[in-house]
Structure 1
């Protein structure tokens, strides 16, 4: 609640009073979120599993196993090597598990917030998009993927600079946190595709039409021949996963995405005219939406694979469009987004927020 109120006030001040970005808002938000996420105890959907793995890594894993995993050599490790290395180092130094979550929070928040500040005109609003609700699902839940996405987002610097070796290094590091990061590899070239309002519309329509055909099944053979074994194995395993291999349910999420798509298409020209590198951000966002609709018949693919790309939709494109327009259009976008945040606050709090332990009666922190 404290972070929500702070970001609401900070975003309003940035947009309508100061009319420019303020680094102090980003620093305060980063500190609050790192403390809330990094030092939490028994909070988050995957927390018990990560805590259980903590001692397991140290007992059953050697640094040689970590090196073999890093070099794609035959090994028995199923979890990504940088994540295992962080856990083992913390355990070997005799430190508690919440130091692992603290280190992870510091890495992911610093990478994401630094990239946001450099590329977004109103970073406080972008951080609000991150906080509600990505922070809870990624960096307080699916932490490994949150770290992988953070490195992918940070690689945007090298995409802009057209520095392919450094970009590939970022992808390699991201794979050390979560194997789904391989999906971000085409981003380096996707940003160069010429797009406009009509092309955005038709790309998403084609992706939606192709969804029932389940064309992604054809990629199984491709991954088994070209990708490292753990990536191809994960892909094959999730194609018919008995828990998450079904179709994405139609609901509120679809309405929200439809509104975001309308905004993205309606103000595309303004974004291209007023925001540096907007075309790059927009292409990544559109590709993320296309991935979501293309994989809609498989829930785990639709949710996991577009992750890094969807980051550019909300935190980068939608926030920068608030800057790109003026007058009533700016007011309409901002207050529309705030209504969405408030609705998400209560909707999330009454459901996943309570089950994950984020409510006042269940949340615990190492500090208090």
Structure 2
């Protein structure tokens, strides 16, 4: 029920915000919304990786420190990246309770993403509805990936400002929370290339071709060096031969929606880029995540992580930009598609998620 209480008011605000008068009137509400969503994320407990992170918080010490991963893996199966673990150890050493660690991460992850949308999205509440539908529930349960994706979306600023060193630094920083972030390194050079549209189209063709004819993951396991890649190789191997989790369908309705958005954005490249280069770079991030999703179709945990880290927040921004740059019928089309599709997706996700539990109203 609590998730509907969050979603429905913002859904109504997304309708009102199309009008310039209401959009201006709702600006203070937008800022308050950021606080509300950070509050709900920071005070929840017991969902997703909550207890795994608790094990790390209580069990690690700086004697386990190593780059890129802490050396002891006995405290759960995830969360060994050195910045994430170091932050946990530092707060624990200073005597802070686990709740402070969780709230701090929630403020930076959820708050960082919403501030990006608040600052750059032309229609904040449209972006907010898409964020709620596609990302928010995941951000509440898997904070490492949420932190990494928050850092990654802000790295677009360094592409706009032509600062490759800071871009690389930000990606390495994100990988200190989730090692998967390291695959973002090519994005700088894809974004600044004048052939970026062609790279996206080629990536789509190749990824779909491979999904028909072979397995990229199987190729990796056959030819990658286990001794060199170590922990990463073992993780991929464990995922591949273990529980595949949710099925990935490269030809489902969701994939069709993503492909349609990608092709339309390429068709409208000049309009999107003229609105702001940041918009185009965010689109490249979105397309990059979807291409990885198709490429890792037979390893669902990596496929869905690609969407979560690269695509979903960028999609929340891009859909609002399309509403802004289009006129008349097409503006109405993109607003309707964005809000209605997000609402349907939210309904499915909310009914499938564990009930919300708060440290303020529950005993634990």
Shift of 1:135: 1.0
Moved more, 218-227 or 181-190: 218-227
Q: Distance in 2 between matches of 1:119 and 1:41?
A: 31
Q: Distance in 2 between matches of 1:47 and 1:175?
A: 20
Partner residue in 2 for 1:65? 64
Partner residue in 1 for 2:41? 37
Unaligned runs of 5+ residues in structure 2 are none
Partner residue in 1 for 2:271? 270
Q: Distance in 2 between matches of 1:10 and 1:293?
A: 34
Shift of 1:145: 0.9
Deviations 1:73-106 (A, max 9, x none): x833571122222322333344432222211111
User: What's the RMSD between the two structures over aligned residues?
Assistant: 3.0
Shift of 1:302: 1.2
Q: Distance in 2 between matches of 1:128 and 1:13?
A: 13
Partner residue in 1 for 2:111? 110
Determine helix, strand or coil for the equivalent of 2:67. Answer: helix
Is 1:3 matched with 2:3?
Answer: no
With the length of structure 2 as denominator, give the TM-score of the two structures.
Answer: 0.83
Verify the 8 A CA contact 2:244 2:301 in the aligned structure 1. Answer: yes
Q: Distance in 1 between matches of 2:188 and 2:263?
A: 26
Shift of 1:293: 1.3
With the length of structure 1 as denominator, give the TM-score of the two structures.
Answer: 0.82
1:1-368 paired onto structure 2 within 5 Å:
1-18=4-21, 23-42=27-46, 44-55=47-58, 57=59, 61-66=60-65, 68-69=66-67, 75-76=71-72, 79-137=80-138, 139-195=139-195, 200-212=200-212, 213-219=214-220, 221=223, 229-238=230-239, 240-244=240-244, 248-249=248-249, 251-261=252-262, 263-265=264-266, 267-311=268-312, 313-351=314-352, 353=353, 356-358=354-356, 363-366=357-360
Q: Distance in 1 between matches of 2:21 and 2:181?
A: 37
Deviations 1:147-174 (A, max 9, x none): 1111111111112112122112211211
Verify the 8 A CA contact 2:296 2:302 in the aligned structure 1. Answer: yes
Determine helix, strand or coil for the equivalent of 2:298. Answer: coil
Unaligned runs of 5+ residues in structure 1 are none
